[in-house]
Chains A and B, each alone.
Chain A
Amino acid sequence: MGEKIGKILFTKEEIERRIRELGEEISRDYARKEPILVCVLKGAVYFAVDLTRSLTIPFILDFISILSYGSSQEDQGVVRILKDLDVNIYGSDVLIIEDIVDTGLTLSYLLRNFQARKPNSLKICTLIDCPGRRIIEVNIAYKGFEIPDSYVVGYGLDYKEKYRNLPYIAVLDD
């Protein structure tokens, strides 16, 4: 694939502004609570860091990493957690931080896994929502932007580990 960066969908300023708005909304909704924010590695790192900086409530930040289909040359087997949470989410208010929600397959696994740990509440916050590619419906509580069915990179989103550090989000043309 001779890929190249295409149209910029969201500029650095637009992303910053939207994240501030999300931060205010989450701070309002979780007032007097101490949510556990679960950042899904690696793509959501940039978003999670900036989002947490815009929060005005106390919170606990944790990370999780999940094997995704096609990420390994080995026999695929089944999805599994590569790096689990360090904290116990039992009885807590959990907010999953995703970079992008498209098929909903990874997230549906994560939701099932987390539900079994019996948190008090479990919600999703994603920077990008791509509903056109959805296979499994998931309820998204907070979303930054909605995009049509296109492959995007930047601001944590990668193509073969490249482009995560772009300050904007752009379409990847092939």
Chain B
Amino acid sequence: MGKIKLITMSRDFGTDIDDLIRKLSQEIKGEVLDREKLYAELEKLGISREKIERNGELSKEEKEEFIDLYKEGIRKVVGNYLEKGMVFLLGRGGQFLYQGEDFVFHINVIAPLNYRVKYLCEKYPLSQEKALELIKEKDLQREIYYYSFFFSDWKDPYLYHLVIDKSFFSDREIEELIWKVLEKEEVPVPALEQLSFPTKPTFANESEEEFAKILSFYQIKWEYEPRAFPLEWDSEGQVLESFSPDFYLPDFDLYIELTLQKPKLISEKLRKIRKLEELYPDIKIKLFYGKEYKKLLAKYGIRIG
């Protein structure tokens, strides 16, 4: 057996992966913990299904206490089964409970809406409208569950090692993918100092660093002075003048130039930007300067200069 002892399975309603997991689990004499089985085990620990499902009615303090108890309970139940062998945990927030643990593998099974509707209509005698209604209802229940117990969004792809689109892979292919996970052998984890990390750029001034922090806060990807645009060449083709905008936002294909200088002091910069726009008409660039830039920073509580 490989290094993975527990697989958490998150799945969209209408993708129906559970039978496949049960079959796979039987083959390796593992255990599938679905909601029913988990709740039955939790009952034995004194955690009732009713309280789990009606946790929203508890007071803030009671809720916090109960959520801790619930999570602890799941870990205890899963831990007991892990002593006997491989465990597949279906739903219930396993991706949050066991995030970052090296013996656990997180899978999310998704499918486009039309696939899910068609699947439900074919599996059960449902109209398309009813199937869609059911999907909406179940998605909402799921969203509420994750927010109530984990304050998180299960759609975050970083929670999973593998996201499988059920409409793209056959059951057999999915089974093969999971087998690969089960067979994955223990590999030494490199020490932190062996890994290479990006280095923080050297900003020209404090305000640029603050601007970078604001962009990072809003999860906007940025690059600092990634490119110099040649503006003038000599007869030999040597670049005589170039311009490097301060920031580039790749998701918006946008360059940003910042300066705290007053308008009358930035005529040289404005000339360069005009030239850049003439030479590279497809480049989008925005300039924030002087008082306007200070106002922009002040909006975020940053006072400079």
Q: Do A and B come together as binding partners?
A: yes
Instruction: Given A69-B218, A91-B136, A149-B292, verify A103-B143 contact (CB < 8 Å).
Output: no
Instruction: Given A70-B302, A118-B113, verify A79-B218 contact (CB < 8 Å).
Output: yes
Among residues of B, the one whose C-beta sits closest to the C-beta of A109 is: B218
Main secondary structure of the interface of B (DSSP, over half): helix
Whether a CB of chain A sits under 8 angstroms from the CB of B214 is yes
Check if B300 sits within 8 Å of A137, measured CB to CB: no
Whether a CB of chain A sits under 8 angstroms from the CB of B132 is yes
CA distance A91 to B113 in the complex (A): 10
Within 8 A of A (CB), among B256-305: 256, 286, 288, 292, 295-296, 298-302
**What's the tally of chain B residues with a CB closer than 8 Å to chain A?**
31
Within 8 A of A (CB), among B28-81: none
Check if A90 sits within 8 Å of B136, measured CB to CB: yes
Contact of B252 among A71, A90, A136, A149 (CB under 8 A): A136
Instruction: Given A76-B213, A135-B286, verify A105-B220 contact (CB < 8 Å).
Output: yes
CA distance A132 to B289 in the complex (A): 12
Q: Distance in Å from the Cβ of B285 to the closest Cβ of chain A?
A: 12
Check if B139 sits within 8 Å of A136, measured CB to CB: no
**What's the tally of chain A residues with a CB closer than 8 Å to chain B?**
30
CA distance A134 to B254 in the complex (A): 12
Check if B143 sits within 8 Å of A88, measured CB to CB: yes
Check if A70 sits within 8 Å of B286, measured CB to CB: no
Contact of A70 among B140, B215, B301 (CB under 8 A): B301
Instruction: Given A84-B147, A108-B220, A149-B292, verify A135-B299 contact (CB < 8 Å).
Output: no
Residues of B within 8 A of A (CB): 113, 132, 135-136, 139-140, 143, 147, 155, 213-220, 249, 252, 254, 256, 286, 288, 292, 295-296, 298-302
10 contacts between A and B (CB under 8 A): A68-B300, A69-B214, A70-B299, A78-B217, A90-B135, A90-B136, A102-B299, A108-B218, A112-B219, A116-B155
Residues of A within 8 A of B (CB): 68-71, 76-79, 84, 87-88, 90-91, 102-103, 105-106, 108-109, 112, 116, 118, 132-137, 149, 151
In the complex, the 8 A-B pairs of residues with the closest C-beta atoms, listed nearest first? A70-B301, A88-B140, A70-B300, A105-B218, A69-B217, A69-B300, A79-B218, A109-B218
Further 11 A-B residue pairs, CB within 8 A, beyond A88-B139, A88-B143, A108-B218:
A69-B213, A69-B300, A69-B301, A71-B301, A78-B219, A90-B135, A90-B136, A102-B299, A105-B220, A116-B155, A135-B256
